[in-house]
Amino acid sequence: MNLIKIGKFIQEKRKEKSLTQEALAERLYVTDRAVSKWERGLSLPDADKMLDLCDILGINVNELLLGEKIGMEDNNKKTEELILELAKQEEKNNKKIFTNMWVILITTFIFYISIIILAAYSLGEGPIFGTIVCISTVILVIVAFYALKLEVDTGYYECSKCHHKHVPKYFVAMITPHVHTTRYLKCPECHKWSWSKKVLK
């Protein structure tokens, strides 16, 4: 997606409708700074604003995301291309979240072990050592929960029986056994328990 091209297109269509940035912003309940950012290619309108924006500018969402007017016959083909591109983008973002999650988790764990070894070595057993262990454990648990939340929120789990993709509840994800990112889950579609693989799109 070419944000600069999209921005120029938004600006062109806005001017055709004789709207100022302020007037357009007001109709979309956004700030004029947001409109200015779209037009300079610094950001895309949020998905929930896109339809209204297209409505005001007299274009469709395909045209908005391509940054140009397209004929009716091209429309369906372009839709497919855009959906594929958005899916790819989603997969890329999800992979990034996943990598970050593992880095955070492993770093925290190493940190946790180091603090305990260091504290045990320098303080010996006693109330201060106990406090340090407690606090570090609480932090480790919080980070682990956060990582679990990220993992459950990112992508889907695919049922190995019927290949239905679903997102389990946190509580379910927390208590079911898992190996790496493959979890033993009940499929809401076929109601069978199976080892469900994580898929990112």
Contact residues for Zn ion, defined by CB under 5 A:
159, 161-162, 164, 187, 189-190
**Cβ(42)–Cβ(3) below 8 Å:** yes
Cβ closest to Zn ion, residue 95 vs residue 164 = 164
Spell out the residues 6+ positions from residue 175 whose beta carbon is closer than 8 angstroms to its own: none
| Continuous H helices in the chain | 3-16, 21-28, 32-39, 47-57, 61-66, 72-123, 127-153, 170-175
What is the closest distance, in whole angstroms, from the C-beta atom of residue 182 to Zn ion in the complex? 15
Cβ closest to Zn ion, residue 36 vs residue 160 = 160
DSSP 3-state of 200: coil
Cβ closest to Zn ion, residue 79 vs residue 160 = 160
What is the closest distance, in whole angstroms, from the C-beta atom of residue 150 to Zn ion in the complex? 24
* Assigned token pair, 88: 């790819």
End-to-end CA distance of the chain: 19
Cβ closest to Zn ion, residue 28 vs residue 185 = 185
DSSP 3-state of 29: coil
What is the closest distance, in whole angstroms, from the C-beta atom of residue 165 to Zn ion in the complex? 9
Backbone dihedral angles phi then psi of residue 178, each to the nearest 5 degrees: -145, 150
**Cβ(183)–Cβ(160) below 8 Å:** no
What is the closest distance, in whole angstroms, from the C-beta atom of residue 89 to Zn ion in the complex? 27
What is the closest distance, in whole angstroms, from the C-beta atom of residue 194 to Zn ion in the complex? 7
Cβ closest to Zn ion, residue 164 vs residue 178 = 164
